[in-house]
């Protein structure tokens, strides 16, 4: 059984012809590039971490493929796995159930370009929860209602986090326009 999918479903700006996803590979092809970029934003530009996050996401989806392929919206399911995997590991690190002295200090990793510094450094200043909202709302173009549903938050909470995140970003991105 195939499921309907298009790149517009995952928030890219250039829609393409809707394809029928017959198997897992098609889902990866249709969503991989956009979700990779979402992972890059969630990890504030760290390519290695982003790739690992993306691989973890698709591994989970593959493990549950029979259920995913029958879901109403497999793309939304995959997107939710991505964001929740990210948030879940942030919480795990805080509780520090494993020794952490060997973990790389990604937060102090020097960026390799001035532009990257501006945006990625600004993203690093956001909490994980706020960063996820930014990525869903302003990169994946999810509505407030969709973001709230996917993160298990109220719409009020999403709006609050969006405002807070944008205010912090605006300190570093002086040309950032008001969002409607």
Render 105-142 in DSSP notation, one character per residue.
-GGGPPPSSHHHHHHHHHHHTS-HHHHHHHIIIIIS--
Judge contact between 38 and 139, C-beta under 8 A.
Answer: yes
Two structure tokens written together for 37 = 């970029």
Shortest distance, CB of residue 18 to other proteins, whole angstroms? 19
**Which 9-68 residues touch other proteins, going by CB under 8 A?**
13, 24-25, 28-29, 32-33, 36-37, 40-41, 43-56, 58-65
Shortest distance, CB of residue 7 to other proteins, whole angstroms? 13
Helix or strand or coil: residue 18? coil
**Which 107-146 residues touch other proteins, going by CB under 8 A?**
107, 113, 115-116, 119-120, 124-125, 127-128, 134, 138-139, 141
Determine if 171 is a binding residue for other proteins (CB under 8 A): no
Instruction: Tell me, residue by residue from 70 to 99, as one string, x for binding to other proteins by CB under 8 A and - for no binding.
Output: -------x--xx--xx-xxxxxxxxxxxxx
Length of the chain: 180
């Amino acid at each position: 059984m195939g499921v309907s999918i298009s790149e517009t479903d995952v928030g890219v700006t250039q829609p393409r012809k809707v394809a029928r996803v017959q198997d897992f590979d098609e889902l990866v092809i249709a969503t991989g590039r956009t979700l990779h970029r979402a992972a890059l934003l969630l990890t504030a530009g760290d390519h290695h971490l982003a790739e690992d996050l993306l691989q973890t996401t698709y591994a989970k989806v593959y493990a549950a493929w029979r259920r995913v392929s029958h879901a109403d919206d497999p793309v939304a399911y995959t997107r939710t796995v991505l964001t929740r995997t990210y948030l879940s590991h942030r919480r795990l690190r805080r509780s520090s159930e494993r020794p952490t002295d060997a973990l790389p200090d990604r937060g102090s990793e020097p960026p390799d370009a001035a532009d990257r510094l501006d945006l990625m450094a600004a993203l690093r200043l956001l909490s994980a929860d706020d960063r996820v909202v930014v990525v869903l709302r302003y990169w994946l173009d999810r509505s407030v209602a969709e973001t709230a549903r996917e993160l298990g938050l109220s719409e009020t909470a999403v709006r609050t986090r969006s405002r807070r995140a944008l205010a912090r970003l605006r300190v570093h991105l002086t040309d950032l326009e008001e969002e409607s």
